Amino acid sequence: MKRKEIFVRYERCTGCRSCELACAVSHTAARNLFGALLGGERPQKRLYVDQVGRVKAPAVCRQCEEPPCVAVCITGAMHRREDGVNVVALPRCIGCWMCAMACPFGAVGRGEGKAVKCDRECLDEEGVPACVRACPTGALVFQTVEEFEAERRLAAAVSLR
């Protein structure tokens, strides 16, 4: 089966930050907002919604096939997991931030002196990432490149009518 990616349909983003919140919650022990808050957990989000002018833009790790963050990691902490997802092995991370410099998307964050990034350990029972599930407008979608591009082509075709 072809791998699915998190795609962004920028024109749909309202900047509500629900994706950020859901991402953080999915990385708690409680795995729900109220449980995490009442349990005093302090999770971190792995994606970021920025705004430039009127454009609202969620930035999430692209999970590159040839990841610059992995290429530059001197300790091997940043590595490609068997499922093709690029993740950090925290014990080996020395917080040098080479990965942060190398990532063209600004998708690496800081957590307690170590790199924190999207690890896709947030999938629900249907295999959908928390950020995608939380998006109320469909700005984030979880599809194969083929599916996403097919939709793009259709949209382009419709616009020709």
Q: Does 42 help bind other proteins (rule: CB under 8 A)?
A: yes
Distance CA 1, CA 48 (A): 29
DSSP assigned state of 76: S
Q: Does 2 help bind other proteins (rule: CB under 8 A)?
A: no
User: Of the candidates 9, 12, 21, 147, which one interacts with other proteins according to CB under 8 A?
Assistant: 21
CB of 83 to other proteins, least distance (A): 25
Nearest to 51 by CA among 19, 18, 14: 14
Distance CA 53, CA 27 (A): 31
Q: Does 38 help bind other proteins (rule: CB under 8 A)?
A: yes
Number of residues that bind other proteins (CB under 8 A): 21
- Tell me if residue 115 falls in helix, strand or coil: strand
DSSP assigned state of 50: E
User: Of the candidates 6, 8, 36, 73, which one interacts with other proteins according to CB under 8 A?
Assistant: 36
CB of 56 to other proteins, least distance (A): 13
Amino acid at 56: K
Give the interface with other proteins as residue ranges (CB under 8 A).
Answer: 16-18, 21-22, 24-25, 33-34, 36-38, 40-45, 133-134, 136
